[in-house]
Amino acid sequence: MLINRYKNNPILTKDDVPYPVATLHNAAVVKHEEKYIMIFRSHKLNGRSIFGKAESEDGFNFKVDEKPFMVPANEGVFKEYEAFGVEDPRIVFIDGEYLITYSAYSRHGVRIGLAKTKDFKTVVRFSLITQADNRNVVIFPEKFSGLYARLDRPHSEISPWSIWISYSPDLKYWGESKLIMKPLQYHWDEMKIGPGAPPIKTSRGWLSIYHGIFLTMDGCVYRLGVALHDLIDPSKVIAVGDEWILQPEEIYEITGYVHNVVFSCGAVQEKDGSVKIYWGGADNVMCVGTANLEDLVDHCLDKPRPAL
């Protein structure tokens, strides 16, 4: 088994939140000043999402803050585009600050907002960095030839729900976009794929944990897979592991708010070569598991499926 589920999963649920919410799921996690900081998504009781924050010493036992971390904006251009809520945050540390990318929902569709923080006490919205219909933006924690790089998942009917790469000199203006990975027909990720956790640097390439979806007679099944990108040119996908690394198996992944979902927005690389992978179970609770990073890289290389 590639991922060892933590024995006390789920690690957080709505019952751990001191304000009224219906779920606690799809969280980003980073290590900041020796603490694990989790920014999670919760449905409010009106069905629209906000972000809460939790902290941990060990990456397994988290305590939730008294108040939400970020709620839909009430002014400026963000107000218009976040009116239906903010969802699925991803966080990277680069150039001395944390960049938080998130899905901004409104009557105009879903697009991506970018906010910044240095200390997780204050957060400043920076820019809306995609049009609709785009989701799941993860920024690489390093620049390439002076440019920021991101993976994202625009959608079109001709080429549905695939992974693209784009570059930016300033985090605001993005271009040089290229499709780099597609769903594979009659495979566990045949319906949709999208970036999950921000890419992790290894000696053999950038490891990207992505989600893939298969449509069954009983609805969609969300699973996690891994792909390896070239260290110098991340638009080159070296290999994509043929088999998933995680699927809904525990009761809180099989049933919840949306059944049969494991969905990752964050992973923390540890000094001992392991990685803590965090995922939402059934759009309802948060879970964690540990894996060996080199095993995940081998999984991509040993038995790859075509990227395109």
Between 113 and 280, name the residue whose CB sits nearer to ligand BMA.
Answer: 280
**In which element (H, E) is residue 192 found?**
strand 192-195
Rounded CA separation 213/158 (Å): 18
Between 88 and 152, name the residue whose CB sits nearer to ligand BMA.
Answer: 88
Q: What pairing do the DSSP bridges indicate for beta strands 163-168 and 148-154?
A: antiparallel
Alpha helices in 205-268 (DSSP H): 251-254
Q: Is cis: bond before 133, omega within 30 of 0? A: yes
Q: Which residues bind ligand BMA (CB under 6 A)?
A: 26, 87-88, 222, 258, 261, 263, 280, 283
Q: Are 172 and 142 in contact (CB under 8 A)?
A: no
Spatial neighbors of 290 by CB under 8 A, at least 6 apart, are 3, 4, 6, 274, 275, 276, 277
Between 161 and 206, name the residue whose CB sits nearer to ligand BMA.
Answer: 161
CB of 34 to ligand BMA, least distance (A): 30
Between 90 and 171, name the residue whose CB sits nearer to ligand BMA.
Answer: 90
The torsion angles phi and psi of 99, rounded to 5 degrees, stand at -105, 125
Chain-centre distance of CA 245, in angstroms? 15
Between 160 and 304, name the residue whose CB sits nearer to ligand BMA.
Answer: 160
Rounded CA separation 221/266 (Å): 20
Rounded CA separation 21/151 (Å): 30
Between 152 and 283, name the residue whose CB sits nearer to ligand BMA.
Answer: 283
